[in-house]
């Protein structure tokens, strides 16, 4: 989806001319496709349950409204996300509340009847107190667990500051029983911040055992929630990632020119000619990511019980819930920035070119979110080149060969680099061209945005094509004005909502 969007040069320039840059463009139909792929994995393993989008990954209304029109659900982490999910069309039975919760978040969630993923005993008791004080219906809860022990060969399981250690489950279940008038135990779950399938398999098996412990007490849990963390592969070829990391090591060891600002090593160090430290980068290439990662996890044998994890769930008729954030927003958006100026770096950049952009590192914190993909140049179409089919520019490639550049933001700060990496472009861009940062919808376009120097945050628009028109022209509306309706109906709505337009 994003690939054909990035080819629509005239369309992207029209948007950037009208709305300025930085500009975020989201593609709501893509999130529906991604959700369907996750749902298909559950069905292939004949599991009930569902997909709960981790809303924190994107603030977009268009993505959430499009998702509300699919069978998928949503996982919210704040009062504001809960209000947004309700306003986008999710009914409370399709909403789970996770993470640290303040009283207002808890109150609204309990009042409308969402499911709560509770961190521990004190949260459970606070929730029960709220239900009793306000005479609410009992709330459904999932117990978030952590610290899953491994039998036999010890596996390293990352510590989490969230959830209740499995060792403390008996005390937590005592509390569930004491609060039986106010909470209904739906099941247990985890969210682990790791790419390791082994760690996830251990945790999933641990959850099945915890469900047994619940049932042994006469409780009737039926859901296991395995959180998110299915990942995205940002590169198409493993070789690209291997070549980059090999060259980065050589740069750190000074056997080739630097590949990053100040020969930054991303955790790698040169200690008297020996490589030290560890590479602290999200793997840009993932052999197995997204729905395929879920598929592989479910097919894995449980570390101590020995049977496939999906079979264990199926035998017990447990539903499985997943909470992908990054993986559901894969290919759901791009960030555009206008090139303001190019010039030769003299000092820190070691004679490279520097490209100054009309956005800053907060608008697009690539490295914080593991995006190590070089941006695309979207050339400004020449006056004589029409929009062409599908809004494509008819720009001829310009002169000049590939260049290594540093990308600078628009803030008056030495540290405002879009990425410390040298970025390799097929040619030096011209002022007025756009750089298109791809696959930024998950976290990148929303998590770090600020208004330093009173610069406005990026606007966000939703780009769509009419159903069945894969090669047709792109259409757009402001993110806040998108609804999954026929284009004419959206246009009517947009026309009646001037106030939103003015404030976007
Ligand atoms: C509880 C919970 N669920 C789901 C997610 C989504 O994780 P990801 O975006 O890696 O899929 C997070 C991310 O922090 C989380 O904390």
Q: Which atom of ligand 1 is nearest to the CA of 230?
A: 11
**pLDDT of amino acid 228:** 97
Determine what percent of the chain is predicted with pLDDT higher than 70: 89
Q: Establish whether residue 324 lines the binding site of ligand 1, counting it when its CB lies within 6 angstroms of any ligand atom.
A: yes
Confidence of residue 173 (pLDDT cuts 50, 70, 90): very high
**pLDDT of amino acid 225:** 98
Q: At what angle do helices 169-178 and 197-216 cross, to 10 degrees?
A: 50
Q: Of 19-33, 126-140, 470-484, which range is least confident?
A: 470-484
Q: Establish whether residue 322 lines the binding site of ligand 1, counting it when its CB lies within 6 angstroms of any ligand atom.
A: no
Per residue in 270-300, pLDDT (tens digit) is: 999 999 999 998 889 999 999 999 999 999 9
**pLDDT of amino acid 466:** 73
pLDDT at 390 > cutoff 50: no
**pLDDT of amino acid 503:** 47
Place of tokens 């056997």: 255
**pLDDT of amino acid 502:** 46
Q: Establish whether residue 329 lines the binding site of ligand 1, counting it when its CB lies within 6 angstroms of any ligand atom.
A: no
Confidence of residue 149 (pLDDT cuts 50, 70, 90): confident
**pLDDT of amino acid 369:** 87
Q: Which two tokens stand for residue 441?
A: 């919808």
**pLDDT of amino acid 469:** 66
Q: Which two tokens stand for residue 7?
A: 């080819």
**pLDDT of amino acid 370:** 83
Q: Establish whether residue 54 lines the binding site of ligand 1, counting it when its CB lies within 6 angstroms of any ligand atom.
A: yes
Mutate to test the pocket of ligand 1, among 77, 145, 230, 325 (most ligand atoms within 8 A of CB): 325
Three-class DSSP labels, 385-413: CCCCHHHCCCCCCCCCCCEEEEEECCCCC
Average pLDDT value for the chain: 91
Which residue is closest in CA terms to ligand 1's atom 7? 228
Mutate to test the pocket of ligand 1, among 229, 328, 443 (most ligand atoms within 8 A of CB): 229
What residues are paired with 403 via a beta bridge? 425
Task: Tell me if 200 sits within 8 A of 297, measured CB to CB.
Answer: yes
The three-state secondary structure class of 276 is strand
pLDDT at 478 > cutoff 70: yes
- CATH superfamily of domain region 2-27+331-503: Lyase, Ornithine Decarboxylase; Chain A, domain 1 (2.40.37.10)
Domain ranges of the chain: 2-27+331-503, 28-232+284-322, 243-277
**pLDDT of amino acid 233:** 96
**pLDDT of amino acid 9:** 95
> Hey, what CATH topology would domain 28-232+284-322 get?
TIM Barrel (3.20.20)
Per the model's pLDDT, the better-predicted residue between 384 and 321 turns out to be 321
Q: Which atom of ligand 1 is nearest to the CA of 57?
A: 9
**pLDDT of amino acid 394:** 44
Q: Which atom of ligand 1 is nearest to the CA of 326?
A: 9
pLDDT at 498 > cutoff 70: no
Q: How far is CA 289 from CA 168, 224, 488, in A?
A: 32, 21, 37
Q: How far is the CA of 226 from the centre of ligand 1 (A)?
A: 10
Region 352-373 average pLDDT: 92
Q: What's the CA gap between 430 and 118, in Å, rounded?
A: 53
Mutate to test the pocket of ligand 1, among 50, 228, 286 (most ligand atoms within 8 A of CB): 228
Q: What H or E segment, with its residue span, contains residue 36?
A: helix 28-44
Q: Which atom of ligand 1 is nearest to the CA of 328?
A: 11
Q: How far is the CA of 55 from the centre of ligand 1 (A)?
A: 9
Region 388-397 average pLDDT: 43
Per residue in 115-127, pLDDT (tens digit) is: 999 999 999 999 9
**pLDDT of amino acid 282:** 87
Q: Establish whether residue 327 lines the binding site of ligand 1, counting it when its CB lies within 6 angstroms of any ligand atom.
A: yes
pLDDT at 499 > cutoff 70: no
Long-range contacts, 248-257 (Cβ 8 Å, 24+): 248/279, 249/275, 257/350
Q: What's the CA gap between 50 and 319, in Å, rounded?
A: 8
Per the model's pLDDT, the better-predicted residue between 335 and 346 turns out to be 335
Q: Which atom of ligand 1 is nearest to the CA of 325?
A: 9
Q: Establish whether residue 101 lines the binding site of ligand 1, counting it when its CB lies within 6 angstroms of any ligand atom.
A: no
Q: What's the CA gap between 462 and 313, in Å, rounded?
A: 38
Region 241-269 average pLDDT: 95
Q: Establish whether residue 45 lines the binding site of ligand 1, counting it when its CB lies within 6 angstroms of any ligand atom.
A: no
Q: Establish whether residue 290 lines the binding site of ligand 1, counting it when its CB lies within 6 angstroms of any ligand atom.
A: no
**pLDDT of amino acid 493:** 53
Q: Of 159-163, 189-193, 474-478, which range is least confident?
A: 159-163
**pLDDT of amino acid 161:** 81
Q: Establish whether residue 57 lines the binding site of ligand 1, counting it when its CB lies within 6 angstroms of any ligand atom.
A: yes
Q: Establish whether residue 229 lines the binding site of ligand 1, counting it when its CB lies within 6 angstroms of any ligand atom.
A: yes
Nearest to 284 by CA among 421, 404, 89, 179: 421
Region 183-201 average pLDDT: 95
**pLDDT of amino acid 392:** 42
pLDDT at 75 > cutoff 60: yes
Please return the burial class of 415, using the count of CB atoms within 10 Å of its CB with bins 0-12, 13-18 and 19+: exposed
pLDDT at 150 > cutoff 70: yes
End-to-end CA distance of the chain: give it in Å, rounded: 25
Could you give the maximum distance between any two Cα atoms of the chain, in Å?
Answer: 76
Per residue in 431-451, pLDDT (tens digit) is: 999 999 999 999 999 999 999
**pLDDT of amino acid 160:** 76
Mutate to test the pocket of ligand 1, among 38, 56, 447 (most ligand atoms within 8 A of CB): 56
Q: Which two tokens stand for residue 425?
A: 């472009």
Task: Tell me if 44 sits within 8 A of 51, measured CB to CB.
Answer: no
Confidence of residue 470 (pLDDT cuts 50, 70, 90): low
**pLDDT of amino acid 351:** 72
pLDDT at 504 > cutoff 80: no
**pLDDT of amino acid 491:** 55
For residue 342, give the DSSP letter.
E
Region 449-459 average pLDDT: 94
Q: How far is the CA of 58 from the centre of ligand 1 (A)?
A: 11
Q: Establish whether residue 330 lines the binding site of ligand 1, counting it when its CB lies within 6 angstroms of any ligand atom.
A: no
Which residue is closest in CA terms to ligand 1's atom 4? 228
E runs forming strands in 324-393: 333-344, 353-357, 376-378
Q: What's the CA gap between 351 and 127, in Å, rounded?
A: 60
Per residue in 479-490, pLDDT (tens digit) is: 999 999 976 555
Per residue in 22-37, pLDDT (tens digit) is: 999 999 999 999 999 9
Q: Establish whether residue 321 lines the binding site of ligand 1, counting it when its CB lies within 6 angstroms of any ligand atom.
A: no
Name the most confidently modeled range: 399-408, 415-424, 427-436: 427-436
Q: Which atom of ligand 1 is nearest to the CA of 443?
A: 9
**pLDDT of amino acid 68:** 98
Q: How far is the CA of 238 from the centre of ligand 1 (A)?
A: 25
Q: Establish whether residue 191 lines the binding site of ligand 1, counting it when its CB lies within 6 angstroms of any ligand atom.
A: yes
């Amino acid at each position: 989806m994003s690939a054909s969007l990035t080819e629509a040069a005239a369309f992207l320039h029209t948007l950037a001319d009208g709305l300025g840059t930085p500009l975020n463009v989201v593609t709501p139909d893509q999130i529906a496709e991604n959700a369907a792929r996750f749902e298909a994995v559950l069905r292939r393993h004949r599991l009930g349950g569902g997909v709960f989008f981790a809303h924190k990954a994107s603030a977009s209304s268009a993505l959430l409204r499009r998702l509300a029109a699919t069978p998928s659900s949503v996982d919210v982490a704040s009062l504001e996300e809960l209000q947004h999910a309700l306003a986008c069309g999710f009914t409370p039975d399709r909403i789970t509340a996770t993470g640290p919760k303040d009283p207002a978040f808890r109150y609204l969630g309990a009042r409308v009847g969402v499911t709560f993923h509770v961190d521990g005993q004190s949260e459970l008791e606070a929730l029960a107190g709220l239900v009793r004080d306000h005479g609410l219906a009992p709330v459904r809860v999932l117990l978030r667990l952590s610290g899953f022990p491994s039998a036999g060969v010890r596996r390293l399981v990352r510590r989490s500051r969230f959830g209740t250690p499995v060792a403390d489950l008996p005390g937590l279940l005592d509390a569930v029983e004491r609060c039986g008038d106010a909470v209904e135990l739906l099941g247990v779950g985890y969210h682990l911040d790791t790419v390791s399938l082994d760690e996830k398999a251990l945790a999933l098996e641990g959850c099945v055992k915890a469900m047994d412990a619940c049932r042994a007490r006469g409780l009737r849990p039926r859901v296991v929630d395995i959180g998110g963390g299915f990942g995205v592969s940002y590169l198409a070829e493993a070789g690209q990632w291997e070549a980059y990391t090999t060259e980065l090591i050589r740069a750190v060891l000074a056997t080739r020119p630097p590949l990053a600002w100040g020969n930054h090593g991303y955790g790698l160090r040169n200690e008297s000619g020996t490589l030290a430290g560890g590479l602290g980068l999200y793997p840009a290439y993932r052999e197995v990511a997204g729905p395929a990662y879920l598929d592989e996890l479910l097919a894995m044998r449980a570390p101590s019980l020995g049977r496939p994890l999906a079979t264990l769930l199926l035998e017990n008729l447990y539903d499985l819930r997943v909470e992908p954030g990054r993986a559901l927003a894969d290919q759901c958006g791009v960030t555009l920035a206008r090139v303001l100026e190019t010039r030769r770096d003299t000092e820190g950049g070691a004679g490279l070119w520097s490209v100054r952009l009309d956005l800053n590192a907060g608008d697009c914190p690539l490295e914080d979110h593991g995006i190590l993909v070089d941006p695309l140049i979207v050339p400004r179409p020449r006056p004589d080149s029409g929009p062409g089919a599908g809004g494509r520019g008819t720009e001829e490639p310009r002169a000049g060969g590939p260049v290594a550049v540093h990308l600078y933001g628009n803030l008056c700060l030495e540290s405002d680099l879009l990425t410390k990496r040298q970025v390799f472009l097929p040619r030096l861009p011209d002022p007025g061209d756009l750089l298109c940062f791809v696959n930024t919808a998950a976290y990148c376009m929303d998590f770090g945005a600020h208004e330093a120097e009173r610069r406005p945050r990026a606007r966000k628009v939703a780009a769509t094509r009419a159903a069945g028109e894969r090669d047709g022209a792109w259409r757009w509306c402001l993110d806040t004005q998108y609804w999954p309706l026929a284009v004419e109906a959206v246009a009517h709505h947009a026309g009646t909502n001037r106030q939103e337009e003015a404030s976007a």
